[in-house]
Amino acid sequence: METLANHTLVYDSECPMCDLYTKGFIKTGMLDSNGRVAYGCARVPAAFSNDRSRDEIALIDYNSGTVTYGLDSLIKIIGHSFPRLGSVLRSSVVHWPLEVLYSFISYNRKVIAPAKDFEKRGSCTPTYNIQYRMAYIFLTWILTSIVLSNYARHRSTCYTSRLRRPTGG
């Protein structure tokens, strides 16, 4: 596995998910030890957009001065270490659903995995996106309904089986 050198991910240090996967890139050797920096602490090129980097993780290439955002930055890291996987992830059939999933998680990351402080001054809080928030509410509603329905069915089956127990005699 080849390390992507002279690249830095600008991540949300208040987001437990962001912290976990950026550490993972460094521990696995996909990025060098200087491969991540907290939002607001990065040495950024002119092409860097503070607004866009709040919504999508930014990967700064210090060799060329370019910035890659969101899923494309993650694919660039993974594709450098695993070229075949990178080409599969870049194909339109796979890239589009992953882009939707990435955006869903990115816009709802402060709700999915909340930090101690929801929104500190100068934090990397994503902009509010009504479509992705409603999708999150709908998905959690469906999953909660499934879990509670199965739990209720299990409880009623246990209760009914106790009532039907044959008595010895």
Chunked mean pLDDT (size 10), the chain, 169 residues: 87 86 93 87 77 87 90 94 93 95 90 71 73 93 94 76 59
Strand ranges (DSSP E) for 34-167?
36-38, 58-61, 66-69
Q: What pLDDT was estimated at residue 90?
A: 94
Instruction: Provide the whole-model pTM.
Output: 0.78
- Angle ∠(59,65,66) on CA atoms, nearest 5: 50
- At which residue do the structure tokens 């060799």 appear? 63
Q: What pLDDT was estimated at residue 168?
A: 57
Q: What pLDDT was estimated at residue 31?
A: 92
What 3-state DSSP class applies to 28? coil
Q: What pLDDT was estimated at residue 146?
A: 95
Q: What pLDDT was estimated at residue 163?
A: 60
